[in-house]
Amino acid sequence: MASSAESDRYTRGMNALRGISGERGPAVIASLDDIAPDLGRYIVEFAFGDIYLRPGLDAPQRQLATVAALAAQGDTAPQLKFHIDAALQVGVTPIEIIEALIHLVPFAGFPRALNAVAVARKSFTDTGARFTPPVQNDDSSRYDRGARKLVEIDGQHGLEVIESLHDISPDLGRYIVEFAFGDVYNRPWLSPQRRQLVTIGALTALGDAAPQLRVHIGAALNVGLDRSHVIEALIHLVSYTGFPRVLNAITVARDVFAQHR
Amino acid sequence: MASSAESDRYTRGMNALRGISGERGPAVIASLDDIAPDLGRYIVEFAFGDIYLRPGLDAPQRQLATVAALAAQGDTAPQLKFHIDAALQVGVTPIEIIEALIHLVPFAGFPRALNAVAVARKSFTDTGARFTPPVQNDDSSRYDRGARKLVEIDGQHGLEVIESLHDISPDLGRYIVEFAFGDVYNRPWLSPQRRQLVTIGALTALGDAAPQLRVHIGAALNVGLDRSHVIEALIHLVSYTGFPRVLNAITVARDVFAQHR
Amino acid sequence: MASSAESDRYTRGMNALRGISGERGPAVIASLDDIAPDLGRYIVEFAFGDIYLRPGLDAPQRQLATVAALAAQGDTAPQLKFHIDAALQVGVTPIEIIEALIHLVPFAGFPRALNAVAVARKSFTDTGARFTPPVQNDDSSRYDRGARKLVEIDGQHGLEVIESLHDISPDLGRYIVEFAFGDVYNRPWLSPQRRQLVTIGALTALGDAAPQLRVHIGAALNVGLDRSHVIEALIHLVSYTGFPRVLNAITVARDVFAQHR
């Protein structure tokens, strides 16, 4: 931290960390002093000083992508707790956090979502967050509303996925329409743009879902995010998933951008 | 849940859930009421009402695939406990459960298997399951019996994998024959069909094992499962791994089906 | 264990296990007697009798690759604790262990590294390991020293990765140079060869990072490891990640070997 540039990175990183976590973040960093002080410094300088304050995504968007990536990869309960607390601190509502976790189900299955909800419960208790969970109440045909939502979000590529299943498992295609889109995507309590940031966070963290990432980076552009949002989200995820999964996602993004419009 | 169709899905889903778990499943659902009630409803309606009761796989087959997928992906201890309990409830024997976990070793390594055995131990204690673990006792050549088993299970594709290693690591090929097939696949305490459902569950959950999934979907057909069993197992896994990994496995299955016979 | 060959494998495996863990390893094996005795026997015979004692990698190299693979895959805390204890026992220093975990950050993100450091802390406490963590203090340009290190480690392929990002995310390329190489790779407290074994362990365990594994198997050869070290490391990892991820890594290694020099 001797040079002025390094000192700046540390100072602004610590400010960013405090901004989302109060004294909890600095306490995590201090807890590393006796065993891996440079690891703590890298969190401050790189994850927060370099990346977190970049323009292009606001703090709620960053926290939702982080929560999705941590929940999808699993075995990150302490960090997930920290970042759900931080999401609340920067203005993400408890309802949006729960929506983001429900949104994970089609992408990562029920177990990851259930474990993350258990962490959210602790966070809400610790931070005194109170809310009444909304309940979906929609008598319309799940298939019809799902098909509309699928086209709205994924466009032609979404329909192609469903049609490609007709020869081998039409029911699986139907479940995507009814459950992933009719039930989950259709829920009004998280905006389509935030849903796509959650999706990109989850799929990047899974790492082996390139075909789905392709569809959903296209979907991000469809719902009004622009290319810089996508790239910024991927850069943001480096701290939580490492470079390899982000680099592989960038390769997918490049292809999508080349074909989009 | 207002419409009649939704109500039916909920009712039959809750019955299915009770069928494998008694009151434990409904208690998990109720525990979500204050924080994510729709997540609980989706488990009942989608995972159990839509998927679990589908014909094509019986409950023991479903539970073995579930246990394999949960153990292989890791960080799912509460769900793994629930589904080992459920496996016992639907008639999977403790010996078969342990066999399924030993079967995971060649696919996911010892740590995942060891952690899952620790969960199984709790399940057996809680449910009062008693058994004497069988001990393999076979003086024949591990390589010879492994090579026979490899051909029996994987056919020509299995031999090709071993031969493809001759130029770079013949010992790795030998270990596959001796350990994966001579030791593990050769164990008589889980049927070849159930082993392949466990294998498909584990490889789908790992997500990045397409070449091996290709060999082992072929093997599933070799040991007498038919295409509908494979597809049904993959649909079943949506609840535990999400759609992306299942969709990617379906892509592999389509190729295997096109080439098989 | 009836035949003489089997008995030899068990005896030499148990000796190897004792060699790295004293009585802790045999105690883990004994704890499986009532539930999965053959699983314990396979650990002794296969993981230790067949693999661990192979020439080509020494025990510290094996333990560093193991620690990296366990930390990167997550949900392996008991095994990670066991193998950090064992790393200390075979002469890996606490500083090297922490360096290996810091080295994971660019590959697997901060959360996996933080959780592994928490496990290392327990190990150091239990084993009485004492050390003063080194602190990096380098005023030179992070980009300049990172670019030099990148070329030293990855050669032309590393530069190609950075250049390939110019059209879509030059900042991501800059972070790889500054953070992954200027900060992390540049640290002097773990040798380049050991860093590459850690890298190969982590990338093989992640499973979905073939492009990065390609670069870093090449890098392993660049820093003086030879092909047999790479293959031996991959064989070693079978016990911790299973055959599929190792087989897929072998496919990458074959390509790298064909193109190298």
Per residue, what are the HEC states of chain C? CCCHHHHHHHHHHHHHHHHHHCCHHHHHHHCCCCCCHHHHHHHHHHHHHHHHCCCCCCHHHHHHHHHHHHHHHCCCHHHHHHHHHHHHHCCCCHHHHHHHHHHHHHHHCHHHHHHHHHHHHHHHHHHCCCCCCCCCCCCCCHHHHHHHHHHHHHCHHHHHHHHHCCCCCHHHHHHHHHHHHHHHHCCCCCCHHHHHHHHHHHHHHHCCCHHHHHHHHHHHHHCCCCHHHHHHHHHHHHHHHCHHHHHHHHHHHHHHHHHCC
Selected residue with higher pLDDT from A155 and A84: A84
Share of chain C above pLDDT 90, in %: 93
Q: Please answer whether residues B98 and C35 qualify as being in contact, where contact means their C-beta atoms are separated by less than 8 angstroms.
A: yes
Residue A206, Cα to own-chain centre: how many angstroms? 11
| Residues A93 and A74 both lie in one domain | yes
Give how far C49 is from chain A: nearest CA, Å. 31
**How far apart, in whole angstroms, are the C-alpha atoms of residue A154 and residue A76?**
30
- Which chains have 3 or more CB–CB distances shorter than 8 Å to chain C? A, B
| C-beta atoms of B36 and A98 within 8 A | yes
The model's pLDDT over B211-243, given as tens digits with 9 standing for 90+, comes to 999 999 999 999 999 999 999 999 999 999 999
Does B240 sit within 8 Å of A109, measured CB to CB?
yes
How far away is chain C from the Cα of A150, in angstroms, using its nearest Cα? 28
Confidence at residue C224, expressed as pLDDT on a 0 to 100 scale: 96
- Using the predicted structure, report yes or no on whether residue A2 has a pLDDT greater than 50: no
Q: What is the DSSP string of chain B?
A: --SHHHHHHHHHHHHHHHHHHTTHHHHHHHTTTTT-HHHHHHIIIIIIIIIIT-TTS-HHHHHHHHHHHHHHH-S-HHHHHHHHHHHHHTT--HHHHHHHHHHHHHHH-HHHHHHHHHHHHHHHHHHT-----------S-HHHHHHHHHHHHHTHHHHHHHHHTTTT-HHHHHHIIIIIIIIIIT-TTS-HHHHHHHHHHHHHHH-S-HHHHHHHHHHHHHTT--HHHHHHHHHHHHHHH-HHHHHHHHHHHHHHHHH--
B106 and B96 fall within a common domain: yes
**Mean of pLDDT values over C12-41:** 97
Same-domain check for residues C11 and C106: no
Out of A6, A239, A253, the one facing C110 most closely (by C-beta) is A239
Give the distance, in angstroms, between the CA of residue B220 and the centroid of all CA atoms in the same chain.
12
For C138, name the nearest residue in chain A, comparing CA atoms only.
A2
Q: What is the pLDDT of residue C7?
A: 80
Q: What pLDDT shows up at residue A3?
A: 63
**Overall average pLDDT of the A49-62 stretch:** 97
Count of other CB atoms within 10 angstroms of residue C178: 22
**Shortest CA gap A250–chain C (Å):** 8
Distance CA C177, CA C240 (A): 30
Among C84, C172, C216, the strongest candidate for a mutation testing the A interface, having the largest count of A CBs within 10 A, is C172
- Distance of residue C12 Cα from the nearest chain A Cα, in angstroms: 35
**Å between A42 CA and nearest CA of chain C:** 8
Segment C100-117 shows an average pLDDT of 97
pLDDT 10s digits, C70-86: 999 999 999 999 999 99
Q: Residue B1: is its pLDDT beyond 60? A: no
- pLDDT of B261 strictly over 90: no
Do C128 and C166 lie in one domain? The reply is no
Candidates A79, A234, A243; nearest CB to C111 = A79
Residues B112 and B236 in one domain: yes
Q: Using one digit for the tens of pLDDT, what is the confidence trace for B43-68?
A: 999 999 999 999 999 999 999 999 99
Residues of C whose CB is below 8 A from A241: 108-109
Task: Report the pLDDT value the prediction gives residue A261, as an integer from 0 to 100.
Answer: 63
Q: Across the B/C interface, how many CB contacts are shorter than 8 Å?
A: 137
Beta-carbon contacts below 8 Å between A and C? 137
Nearest beta carbon to residue A243 from set C113, C139, C180:
C180
Q: Which chain B residues have a beta carbon less than 8 Å from that of A112?
A: 75-76, 242
Same-domain status, C214 and C174 = no
**Last residue of a domain, which of C36, C53, C70?**
C53
First to last CA, chain C: 46
B102 and B192 fall within a common domain: yes
Share of chain C above pLDDT 70, in %: 98
Domain that holds residue B178: 142-185
Percent of chain A with pLDDT over 90: 93
B256 to chain A: nearest residue by CA? Answer: A168
List of chain C residues whose C-beta atoms are within 8 Å of the C-beta of residue B134: 38
User: Cβ–Cβ of B136/C38 closer than 8 Å?
Assistant: yes
The pLDDT-based confidence of C115 (bands split at 50, 70, 90) is very high
Range of lowest pLDDT (A187-196, B1-10, B164-173, C136-145): B1-10
How high is the pLDDT of residue C1? 43
Nearest chain A residue to C123 by CA: give it.
Answer: A35
**pLDDT-derived band of residue A1, with 50, 70 and 90 as boundaries?**
very low
Hey, which chains touch A, using 3+ CB pairs under 8 Å?
B, C
Best residue in C39, C52, C57, C70 for a mutation probing chain B (most B CBs within 10 Å): C39
Q: Do C234 and B165 touch (CB under 8 A)?
A: no
- Facing residue for C110 by CB, picked from A34, A54, A240: A240
When the pLDDT of each residue in chain C is averaged and rounded to a whole number, the result is: 95
Nearest CA in chain C to B75: C75
pLDDT cut 70: percent of chain B above it: 98
| Same-domain check for residues A180 and A163 | yes
Say which CATH number the domain at A120 has: 1.20.1290.10
Q: How far is residue C81 from each of residues B257, C15, C23, C71, measured CA to CA in Å?
A: 44, 20, 15, 10
In the predicted structure, residue C261 carries a pLDDT above the cut 80: no
Question: Is the pLDDT reported for residue B69 higher than 60?
Answer: yes
How near does any CA of chain B get to the CA of C36, in Å? 6
Nearest chain A Cα to B232, which residue?
Answer: A169
Distance of CA A147 to the CA centre of its chain: 24
Nearest CB among C6, C37, C47 relative to B110 is that of C47
Nearest CA-CA distance, residue A179 and chain C, Å: 27
Structural domain total, chain A: 3
Mean pLDDT across the stretch A238-245?
98
Q: Do C39 and B187 touch (CB under 8 A)?
A: no
For residues C94 and C211, membership in a common domain is answered with yes
pLDDT tens, A181-218? 999 999 999 999 999 999 999 999 999 999 999 999 99
Domain end position, chosen among B185, B211, B243:
B185
C75–B209 C-beta distance less than 8 A: no
User: Is pLDDT above 50 for C2?
Assistant: no
**C86 and C70 both lie in a single domain:** yes
* pLDDT tens digits, A88-136: 999 999 999 999 999 999 999 999 999 999 999 999 999 999 999 999 9
Q: Which residue of B has its CA nearest to A71?
A: B75
pLDDT tens readout for residues C151-204:
999 988 888 889 999 999 999 999 999 999 999 999 999 999 999 999 999 999
B83 & B200 share domain? yes
- How far apart are the CA of A212 and the nearest CA of chain B, in angstroms? 6
Both C8 and C111 in one domain: the answer is: no
Mean pLDDT of A15-26: 97
Q: Residue C209 and residue A208: Cβ atoms within 8 Å?
A: no
Instruction: Give A-chain residues touching B248 at CB under 8 angstroms.
Output: 208-209, 211
pLDDT higher than threshold 70 for residue B3 = no
Contact A10, A51 (CB under 8 A): no
